[in-house]
Each structure stands twice: as C-alpha cells, then as structure tokens.
Amino acid sequence: MLTEISFLIMGVFAVFLSLLLITRKWPVTAAMLLVVVMMLIAGMYGLLGAHFSAVAQIIVYAGAIMVVFIFVIMLLNIPAKELNYGRLTIMEIVLSVAGVVVALVLGTKVGQGHLLSSLNILSQSHARAPYYPAEMNENVKNVAALMFTDYLWAFELISFLILSSIIGAVVIAKKEKVSDVKPT
C-alpha cells in the first residue's frame, strides 16, 4: 500500500512540475525543474522494480543531458527582453482540450486491457524467465542478459549513432570552416 501511495505522489508531482516547467519564462528554471521531474521518474522506475533503469535515468538524463542543456543555456546568455511566456489562441486551447479528452479515452481503453491483454499474449508466447527479482541485482543481470544477446546488434549500432552525433555536433557548432583556419 505504501508503494502505491508513494508511486501516486511521485507521478502527480512529476506531472505538476512538468506543467510548471512549460510555463516558465527563464530557461534555467525550466531546466532545474526538469532535473526534479527526471529524479521523480527515476523513483517511479525504482518502485516498479526496474533498478537498472532508475540508475541509468539519474546518471544519463539528470546527470549528463541536463548538464549539456544548462551549459548551452548559460553559453547563449539570451537577454531577458527576448524571453517570453507561452501563449495560446482560443482555438488552440479548445483543440488541446479535445485532444486531451481523446487521449484519455484511448488511455482508458488501454487500462481496461484491450491493448494490454494482447501484450500479455505476446509475452506468454515468448515465455522468458519471470521478471520480478528475488535479490536486488537480479534486474541488472536480466537486462544485461537480454541486451547482449537478442539486442547485441542494436547495441552496436547505437554506439555508432553516438559517435556520428558527436562528430555532427562538433561540425555544426564549429565557428569557422577548416579551410579558413590559418596554420600557425
């Protein structure tokens, strides 16, 4: 019961803080709020029993990606008069509310088990080892066993993607062309 209550509190706080986030004027405030949201989501992963996901969320998202974001926000140093709040027309608000209603109806269908029962059939046909861990580190072991067998090629391709994105970021953000640099 305590698990459910803390999960609910974390989820409600995450949604509330992300609503607060998208209405902030200053990008640094929004980035700090996003760090808190990611910590809360990591807590939700932990309560779900996905310990590896929780730790990866904190290290990669709240640690690495948000540091890059805050670094770039401070590097740009946008003057305050250029910042503004979000604004919506009446039509956009009406359409957004309609979209929320449609999404909630679809989500309730998922919750009632239309999609999830088919997922269950899928998982039974796969018949892997039962998920819930007896010890704490069983989760990491299961993730690694799957990641380095069935998903090995995806794992290798992801490493190439990261390498190419590093090179792309350097090339895009570079100040002058290589041919313009005078040899010293």
Partner 1 sequence: MLSLPELGVYFSLLLFLVGLFGVMCRKGILLMMLSIEIMLNAANLAFVSASVLTNTMDGQVIMFFVMAVAACEAGVGLALVVSIYRARATVETDDLRMLRG
Please state the closest distance from residue 110 (CB atom) to partner 1, in A: 6
Structure tokens belonging to residue 74: 């401070």
Query: How far apart are CB 154 and partner 1 at their closest, in Å?
Result: 6
Residue among 153 and 184 whose Cβ is closer to partner 1? 153
Q: Which of 74, 94, 96, 137 binds partner 1 (CB under 8 A)?
A: 96
- Which is nearest to 51 in space by CA: 174, 143, 114? 143
Alpha-carbon span 36 to 24, nearest angstrom: 15
Give the separation between CA 35 and CA 31, rounded to whole angstroms. 6
Which tokens belong to 61? 């998202």
Q: Are the C-beta atoms of residues 52 and 140 closer than 8 Å to each other?
A: yes
Distance of CA 58 to the CA centre of its chain: 10
Please pick, from the candidates 9, 103, 114, 181, the single residue that binds partner 1 as defined by CB under 8 A: 103
Backbone torsions φ then ψ of 2, nearest 5 degrees:
-60, -35
Residues 129-168 within binding reach of partner 1 (CB under 8 A): 130-132, 139, 142-143, 145-147, 150-151, 154-155, 158, 161-162, 165-166, 168
Kindly state whether residue 101 participates in binding partner 1, applying the rule CB under 8 A: no
CA distances from 105 to 15, 18, 98 (A): 18, 22, 11
Question: How near is the Cβ of 88 to partner 1 at its closest, in Å?
Answer: 5
Considering only 98, 99, 114, 156, the residue that binds partner 1 (CB under 8 A) is: 99
Pair 31, 69: CB distance under 8 Å: yes
- Tell me which of 74, 92, 109, 156 binds partner 1, using CB under 8 A: 92
Is residue 69 involved in binding partner 1 (CB under 8 A)? yes
> Whole-number minimum distance, CB 181 to partner 1, in Å?
17
Judged by CB under 8 A, does residue 55 bind partner 1?
A: no
